[in-house]
Structure 1
Amino acid sequence: GEALLRLRALAGDRGDAMELTIPVFMRGMKRVSQGNIVLRGSEGETVVSLPEDAMEEGAVLDLSLAPTLTASLNESLKELIDFPYGCVEQTMSRFLPAVQVKKLLGSTKFPLAPEVSEKLERVLDEGLRRLYDFKHEDGGWGWWKEDATDPYLTAHVMYGLALARKAGVPIRSDSYERGLQSLSGQIDKEALEALPSLYRAFTLAGRSDDVVEKRIKAGWHQLQPSQRVQYLAALLNRSQKDRATLLLDELKKEVRTEGSAAWLQDDDAYSWWYSWRWSGSAVETTAMLLESQLAVDASDPLVSSLAEFLVRKRSGRWWNTTRGTATVVTALANYAAATGELDASYVARLSLNDREIGRYVVKNGKLVQGSPSLAIPMSTLKRGDNRVRLDREGREGAFYLSAQLGYFVPPESADRTPGLAIERRMYRLTPRQNAGEWRMEYVPLQSGEKLAPGDDVEVRLTVDNKEDMNFVIIEDRLPAGFEVRETRNDPRFASYSSYWDWYTHQERHDERMAFFLDVLPAGRHEFRYVLYPELAGDALALPASVWPMYVPSLRAESGLWQVRVER
């Protein structure tokens, strides 16, 4: 939460005062258990778990309920808007759904929550400013401002900018034209597997290339389903509906079904939500197929089956990654706009662990009784599985529930993952100058050892990974009262240059340091930075952590670190 400090100074009839709001963090590691109900029949249930080592303080079960699909997507939009980092992909994952929502706001088919509506224009404005700033000299984009241009990111950004233009969002013509030039150049030189993504963006911008289409046609059967469905979108962008329909009919032969749900996935996609290939997860590929099928024939029975799969694979408020969530939200928003939702009426009851906690009345697709969001405190929950259940009278329409149980575990309960580990060590630094050159003396610091304000401390984060990993985040929590030392322009740290630029990007926040890498090869890797205490007192650094951005379940954490600062 937050703490408000008020200071007042009085001197006779004169005085002054100030207020300062500071963040207050739990002495623990945040964990989340999520569940989801899509109620089309008379009953549905999901389970969220509160482990035995969960701390008493800070555990809350947040429930969100909605009578329509579009209303339920507001929670996913909030998740994207509040995501704490902002590489090009994550910026686009906020920007693209915002563009789509803006396009639909002229109708009554996308009821936007007030807190999302208030942020919509800001998301669009900030997204554009960040994309303009991150553009490379060659007109393309990478994951960050400082890295190499990437064909998939360039295609992703240009697709979003072209879509924004069509939605009436003003786009700077110089950035747009330079982006098209970069896109064209990459189309000429990239391998077959990158062409569908590049060409989808190229055609949405009103361009075409017969040579590219011949290359894709010749290599069609070498492409994975996620790549083929992007080429379908490119043909539809060119109004080549007949050609797209023929290829769509062929691709639909690879669709898999289970009950009323249907999906499409690459041969080597290793889960519903994750894939090493760009947009290769089952949820992303299925979402793109849904958009193509809507454009060809929205009345096809496959449409509802694809949408059913996507809503089933929602994990709490989102689809586990920013890119996957953005792709699915955009597709489901189009689905709702194209097909409409049944204006059903029914009564539903919400229960937790067999105790009724809410009654809901829906009339003509609108919630007229019952709170759309509930926060259930720890005192109402139990250790182990907590069963959330919906029962209703009537079978028309649907009722959507997302459950997110947030809790904290002691910092000693660090995550362990086979094949991935992170270790944090601290060293007291003493600079020595000899003959005009600086050198550092390093003395290992033990947890609990004393420091004085201003002492320099080197943090060494060592990551061991047995396999190559892509798009990795390394995050280190700072102790309260500590600041990160700026070493680049400090002559005492000239020897640090070898630690500055081998990672892709670095961010310094008030309470954490973060490093980002496009690729982390298998092996042992070290990351260093320097911090110093400003305030006296006992301080604790929560565990450092490492995880691949698009496989957040693969996570490792270090031990904690404690220190006493005395003047």
Structure 2
Amino acid sequence: QKEEDAGGGGGGEGSTLRTDFRPLAHWDPSIKTDASGNARITFKLPESLTTFRLMATAATKASEFGMAATDVVVTKPLVLQQALPRFARLGDTFSAGVLISNQTGTAGQAVVKATPEVIRSVGTRSKEIELEAGETREVLFEWSTSEMGDANIDFAATLGAEEDALRASIPILLPTTRTTTATLAQTDSTANESLALPQDRISSLDRLTATTAGTGLVGLGGAFEYLFEYPYGCLEQRTSRIRPLLIASEVAQAFNLEVLDGDAGDLIRQWLSDLDSFWDGTGFSLWPGGRYHPPYLNAYVLAALAEAREAGYDVSEVLVDDAVRAVESMARRRSAKPAYYSQRSWRVSRAFMLYALAKHERILEDEIATLVRDELEQQDGGSVESVSYLLRTLPLAESALLNSYRERLLERLRSTITIEATTAFASLANDQDYRWIYSSTNRATALAIAALAETAAGDDERLIVQRMIRYLLSKRTENHWASTQENIASIEAFGSYFRAYEQLDPDFDATISVAGSQVLTESVRGRSAVASSRELDLTAHANSTEVPIQLSKVGRGTLYYELVVDTYTTQPLAALSSGLSVVREIQRLDDAGRSVGRPTIVGDETVVLDAGQLVKVTVTLRSQADRNYVVVDDALPAGLEALNAAFDTSNREQTRDSGTSRWWGSFNHSEMRDDRVLLFADYLERGEHTYRYIARATTSGSFVYPPLQSELMYEPSVTGRTATGRLSVRPPNPSE
């Protein structure tokens, strides 16, 4: 039956205000019939003036099934239907109202009135229109938004003796954009930080997270286990297995890391014994009996032989002498680049060979100097791995000539490092030929850490190195890195960092005070690869734009800390690029999906569309490094609706260019919601990524176009956004 109770005022004396617009009128999972197979139920319909479909299914004890359906039309002589956008944002002005249908059978003058709550009307709240019999017309009112919440508008209409009234609701959303700032530092006594908070922010959403530790190697582990559990076979993998036991045993002992079940010495001696099967008299091969001698591999094994000898193991001097001569021959033949090596790969290989030779006290000064000059002359910045190996060679060479290049090499290395909030990484040229020498951004970052820690262990480099270590630790999957080379390079880097900066066993008490009030106390007793993290309350500083924080430490060791502040603002924002950069482009389309006019970059200028017009939205994301777990949040203006190509109701011709053409290393999941389009990438390769979707301008008015924002889900300080924009939708031309 139809609900008859009045829902409130708004339509004049005696009017019924319709407020119940539930899409599902009734559902009953189990109804028993009488002996004749009949059943009767009663329920009240929602107040929508529409066609309801009644559907029933039946089953008997004998497993007989049936179904039936019928339609019920609910209408009135005068009918109102809401015509509002799905949402609005603070700062919007727009035209919206109702559709009015005259089903009385005679023409007449209708009066439509609007009574708002929360939302503000601009201009008249009452309009008179002439309606022919059977005619439906749109009646629009002007609105503006100045406060958030669920806005209600009561619309009431009369035409002669007939009337209708309904309550329409529209959520007013905050066009909020989260801003994350982070500080990573350390102190040996007391540090004073000042947190800058935006003036025009929503202070109730402020959040401060403080993380403290007694080491910069928080999260260490995993890589050791990976190297021992990997199904080894080739010489590179076998060598990677034993090197942690040679170069990072002190790190493992300091942090109580279990790196091996059994005798490490037996494993190293077995590796030394097996080397003969990979040696054919002129070089090492990847596999026993092989005849090809990769230069990088030979340098790698030669360096490991030096580390084994330094650790006190009995190394075959005959094999070492032969290997030194073989690697020296390769290094001296500057033009003997393997055909499949790029010039960068060859420079890295030669630098590594010269470093490995220096570890055996074989210094090729002329070759080192020539390669240093060649690297410094590279206009593209050269190779971070080559520079790292050369820097580490200088202190071994003890040469005044070579040492004169130290500062220039350090400057070149620093120029390859990209700093992003609390992380940093070494930028590796996108050279596909690097795969022959196992290169990656993670390995390059690890090698740069070792070079800085071993050759420039000052306070400035220490902070950069800490950020690089955080970057490496954030790039692990299941607690280790992607390859044996990445794992061993990271372990070597951690060993260099540990020897340079963390020789003292921490034993201290730390306190954090916010604006003079102590809010956190922590005790650090001995080394631990686990940090302590707390969320601190900022409600007492709702009216502040700057909050002083003091971190103090009493006792032995260094306090490492990170402060992350999240704030939200409704004010227009400028574009930002902190590790990620994004662009949103709007291209107008005709009804066939063809481009019309030039595209518009949102944020650079106001996007102007006609009501009903189709557009193609192109989202472009650029990243300087490979990333994991990236989200792109494309918040929509209230006057624009995204068309989902997955729905049968969407025009296939209009949405044929939606989505992304890449299937790996890019966006692998998307969601279309009323107020935004969300893109996700579990793994994002460095470079440029695009996603396209079709949208339609639905409501005339002037709307806030929120920034397009991207961030790492587990490291939101790596982020990028466009500037806040505006969308102007012109009403349809009555003459068309």
**What TM-score do you get using the length of structure 2 for normalisation?**
0.39
Structure with bigger gyration radius: 2
**What TM-score do you get using the length of structure 1 for normalisation?**
0.49
